[in-house]
Amino acid sequence: MRLVESILTKNPCYTAGRKITVKGLMLHSVGCPQPSASVFVKNWNSASYDRACVHGFIDGNDGTIYQCLPWNHRGWHCGASGNNTHIGVEMCEPACIKYTGGATFTCSDKAAAQAVAKRTYDAAVELFAMLCQKFSLDPLGDGVIVSHKEGCKRGIASNHGDPEHLWTQLGLPYTMDTFRKAVKAAMGGGAAAPSGVSGTKIMGAAVATAEQMRTYIKAKNPKVAQSVLDMVPLYLSEGAAEGVRGDIAFAQSCLETGNFAFSGSAVTLDQNNFCGMGVTANGMKGNSFDTPQLGIRAQVQHLKAYASTEPLKGECIDPRFKYVARGCAEVVEWLGQKENPQGKGWATGAGYGEKIMDILKAILATAGAAAPAPAAVPFTVKVSIPDLRIRSGPGTNAAATGKFTGVGVFTITEVKSGPGSAKGWGRLKSGAGWIALDYAQKI
């Protein structure tokens, strides 16, 4: 998650200075064809913009989150009492849509629009997971995470249909229920074990986090494409939507793609083979794995078809699912020969499930996001932006000092990991505080 602090200090909402006790989070969609968050940040950071102010925008081009208000600051995001209790976050929308009236729009490039919506959805999951942890919120609790549309139905927001209108019209599988479950999974809570599953202790373990999964891939293949890493959270969100362990489906993907041990082979998006199950030439293109997201969903649904007696909640991606004897397999044997004696569906051989479980155990054993490697200190960095914020500690959760570095060369005496910076945080020799090393070049 890339979080950039861009507080709207000139907006009348910010200058009003009112605080709230955070009781929930509200998800919005901007309602216009503008994927760039910086456009909103620039336009809204004005003393004359007294119509709205939100806590954050999520950029549709790269998923960057721009924090526009302190999290406990009262925002103007929902037009009703929800401003007194909820943090409001806006997801930017694709440039290729055109509103024709109300919440209805046309789309000139559906694939591009879906990619933008997926990017903002995934970033919102990570952000809301962080905020739920920060404010000790249960994402599945009543009224804790709501959309603007749901807020209206609860009487705490004005009459809007976002963001569900965007997902529905773009043909995406997202709902607020899938979103809440994905946030829970991203916090490490995961989904409950599917009914009918037995025979393994692994189901009682915590669900692997997206960072643990990414760390595992990078350890197997240091040159793995960033596009592959960006897809990882989809396993958790799709698994949460179906009520099964998305990390188990991910482990199967690792096995099917050579455990990600080779670069430039099947683990590529352009070959439609992200999950090791890609199909492009046998008549199924357009019906199953012609996008990585559908491949991941198929992987998750395939697991559920064997491991649960409950019906699939989304569209059945692969017609071969109809041959699966549902709910007849223990997880440690699923997709093996024992539960498929008549050769229907996939029969992959005895021990296949155990191999997947071994991979999952290795993923769960990783430490997750690797902390920045200890740097030899002191060292100097060059800062080329005038507004690099100085904080009292290493992380965006530390208080801002109200000071900025300005452009120049600075000496770093200590490096620590912390939220908001992939490269870590550096302590300034001057004693002024800490800066995010993402915005500084080591010299």
Contact at 8 Å (CB) between 148 and 75? no
Q: Say how many Å lie between the first and final Cα of the chain, rounded.
A: 26
Residues 6+ apart with CB under 8 A from 157: 26, 78, 79, 80, 82, 146, 148, 151
Please give the torsion angle defined by the CA atoms of residues 119, 157, 135 and 181, in that order, rounded to the nearest 10 degrees.
Answer: -50
Average pLDDT, the chain: 78
Q: Is 202 helix (H, G, I), strand (E, B) or coil?
A: helix
Please report which helix (H) or strand (E) contains residue 184, including its range. Answer: helix 176-186
pTM above 0.75, yes or no: no
Integer CA distances (angstroms), 153 to 82, 143, 178, 213, 310, in order: 12, 11, 19, 37, 29
Overall size of the chain counted in residues: 443
pLDDT score, position 259: 55
DSSP labels, 136-183: T--TTSTTTEEEHHHHHHTTSS-S--TTHHHHHHTT----HHHHHHHH
91-109 tens-digit pLDDT: 999 999 999 999 999 999 9
The winner for highest mean pLDDT among 183-197, 306-320, 404-418 is: 404-418
CA distance linking residue 172 with residue 439, whole number of Å = 35
Beta bridge partners of 5: 67
User: What pLDDT is stored for residue 33 in this prediction?
Assistant: 97
Mean pLDDT calculated for residue range 257-281: 48
Angle at 77 between CA 210 and CA 147, to 5 degrees: 50
Residue 163 has pLDDT above 50, yes or no: yes
Is the pLDDT confidence value at 387 over 80? Answer: no
Amino acid letter for position 307: A
Averaged pLDDT for residues 250-275: 58
Q: Which pLDDT value is given to residue 289?
A: 41
Q: Which of 114-118, 243-247, 270-274, 286-290 is the most confident on average?
A: 114-118
Closest by Cα among 214, 133, 131, 145 to 178: 145
H helix or E strand, kind and range, residue 27: strand 24-29
Residue 331: what are its φ and ψ, rounded to 5°? -60, -35
Cβ-count burial 352-383 (b if 16+ within 10 Å, e if not):
bbebbbebbebbbebebeeebeeeeeeeebeb
Closest by CA position to 258, among listed 273, 270, 245, 246: 273
Residues paired with residue 66 on neighbouring β-strands, in sequence order: 4, 57
355 Cβ neighbours under 8 A, 6+ residues apart = 255
Q: Which residue has the higher pLDDT, 340 or 376?
A: 376
Does the structure show a pLDDT above 90 at 169? yes
CA distance 358 to 202: 10
CB atoms near residue 22 (< 10 Å) = 19
Query: By the 8 A CB rule, do 40 and 92 touch?
Result: yes
Angle subtended by helix axes 233-242 and 176-186, to nearest 10: 120
| CA dist., res. 363 & res. 235, Å (int) | 14
Structure tokens at 425: 């945080």
Q: Are 127 and 56 in contact (CB under 8 A)?
A: yes
Helix 246-256 with 352-364: angle, nearest 10 deg: 110
Residue with tokens 């300034």: 428
Please write the tens of the pLDDT for every residue from 310-363. Answer: 666 665 555 555 555 555 444 444 455 444 445 445 545 556 777 787 888 888
Query: Strand, helix or coil at 5?
Result: strand
Encoded tokens for 140: 């599945």
Q: Which residue has the higher pLDDT, 83 or 401?
A: 83
With a cut of 70, say whether residue 385 has pLDDT above it. Answer: yes
